[in-house]
Structure 1
Amino acid sequence: MKFSANLGFLWQDRPLPDAIRAAKAAGFDAVECHWPYETPAAEVAVALKETGLPMLGLNTRRGDVAGGENGLSALPGRDDDARLAIDEAVAYAQAVTADAIHLMAGFADGTDAHDTFVRNLRYACDAAPDRTILIEPLNHYDAPGYFLKTSGQAIRIIEEVGASNLRLMFDCYHIQLMEGDLTHRLQRLKPQIGHIQFASVPDRGAPDRGEVNYGHVFDVIRDMGYDAPLGAEYKPGGPTEDTLGWLSMMRS
């Protein structure tokens, strides 16, 4: 089993290039991030080359975070802003050879939001045909009002868009809180899954705690034939190194 360090949460106390180096030293097989845009892509590329770690993915910008925004791609009337964010993410992903781009939908609801999201997803898929475009349902505890709420809604949108490079980001933490039935859902949705993330439930900590038996979940993922690195997107609540006991235990 291979694992990716999500540097949006892990080693947040370090500049992104140093966090990449820390992930390598800790034994991760890959890295991923949230919004790396304040760090020059050239610096990230140097750290990736030095460590040999692939960058699995990054997110489009959320928009006006202070104003409460959490993504732009499903906001009616904001296509221009959404596409600027998409273009920025595509350019950065190309510069650091990131495999995937997660389009943040934002807080919205209704038919207009759906149509806007579909339209912007098609734009992103066309703009980055050599990248995987990901969409991710978020739970209504952490992100109340977020447009994309369930895996079923995500799959219907993926089918409507009809692009070969559009996939589901299956975050076990969000899916467990909203829908449960993780292992059956993983097995059923495997053809549409582009990346898998995890964290303990309900506190979003390291995976060796909480209500989900990740040892079993990872066994099921392995038996499915899914061999890409799984994204450790959890909040360490202290020094990241102090929370990594699970890594060697669950790798086998």
Structure 2
Amino acid sequence: MPKFAANLTMLFTELPFMERFAAAKAAGFDAVEVLFPYDCSATDMRYQLVMNDLTLVLINTPPPNFTGGPRGFAAVPGLEERFRRDFERVLRYADVLKPRGVHIMSGAAEGAEARATFIENLTWAAARAPRLTLTIEPINRIDMPGYFLDDFDLAAEVLDAVAAPNLHLQIDMYHAHRITGDALGVWARHGHRAAHIQIGGLPDRHEPLASPHLDYPAFFKRLDAEGYSGFVSGEYTPAGRTEDGLGWLKG
């Protein structure tokens, strides 16, 4: 079976945030991710990670106020200084939290200038943090209108243009389905670039179970057969209590 992680921003929301670490460990997870940890004490989070013997596999670049706010700035022309200032903030949190990776959000933008800005900012970030694994993730524009990085072929072009050894693709199978209607086809074409995978049920983004759109147990076996060594994170909205829907952990 792959190495699974729990997204503590979306799972175990029945509990206060700081209690979710222990709940994830009790449920069988050895790793977690957090979308935007910046409104919490990094020291307190690190304490929870250590006390529960958990690996933090991923955090996102700011903004901290995600709900209703901008979805990043990395591809937004004219906001290069804002992006770099926010990235430095990420590095300060990363120094304490020790995440394995950081997902850089492109933000809402369009066109060739945005593409060039994205490549420039990613090149700078990869050089600024050479020992940190960085990822970019295509996100569908139905859930996130106007988001620049909404295409996997575009992501591949950007990765090739930056050509940094610490910059990789992040594939969310839910977004892959929403963007293309063929999540497995996305994996077949682009999976070799992936350093991190996120999963959610199709098409409703509940528990990642077998469905006509994607047989998750079979996908997990495929990852094992192909030698995928990264983490697979449950990033979904539970249909009920989180603990009641964790049967997918057993494949």
- 1:108-187 mapped onto 2 (5 Å cutoff): 108-187=109-188
Over 3 Å counting, the alpha-carbon distance change for 1:37 and 1:77 in structure 2 is same
Provide structure 1 residue ranges, at least 5 long, that are not aligned to the other structure. Answer: none
Matching residue of 1:53: 54
Displacement of 1:134 after TM fit?
0.6
- 1:6-155 mapped onto 2 (5 Å cutoff): 6-62=7-63, 65=66, 68-155=69-156
Over 3 Å counting, the alpha-carbon distance change for 1:25 and 1:42 in structure 2 is same
Which AA in structure 2 matches 1:231? S
For 1:27 and 1:38, the matched residues in 2 are separated by 27
Displacement of 1:74 after TM fit?
0.9
CA deviation profile, 1:188-232 (whole Å, cap 9, x unmatched): 433311101110111111012543211111111111101332110
Which AA in structure 2 matches 1:30? A
Provide structure 2 residue ranges, at least 5 long, that are not aligned to the other structure. Answer: none
Matching residue of 1:217: 219
For 2:64 and 2:77, the matched residues in 1 are separated by 14
For 1:233 and 1:96, the matched residues in 2 are separated by 20
Displacement of 1:66 after TM fit?
6.5
For 2:237 and 2:184, the matched residues in 1 are separated by 23
Over 3 Å counting, the alpha-carbon distance change for 1:178 and 1:99 in structure 2 is same
For 1:246 and 1:142, the matched residues in 2 are separated by 24
Q: Percent identity over the alignment?
A: 37
Matching residue of 2:206: 205
Matching residue of 2:243: 241
For 2:158 and 2:180, the matched residues in 1 are separated by 18
SS at the partner of 1:144?
coil
For 2:13 and 2:124, the matched residues in 1 are separated by 32
Q: CA RMSD of the aligned region, Å?
A: 1.7
Q: What TM-score do you get using the length of structure 1 for normalisation?
A: 0.92
Which AA in structure 2 matches 1:172? M
- Quick check: 65-74 or 216-225, which moved more? 65-74
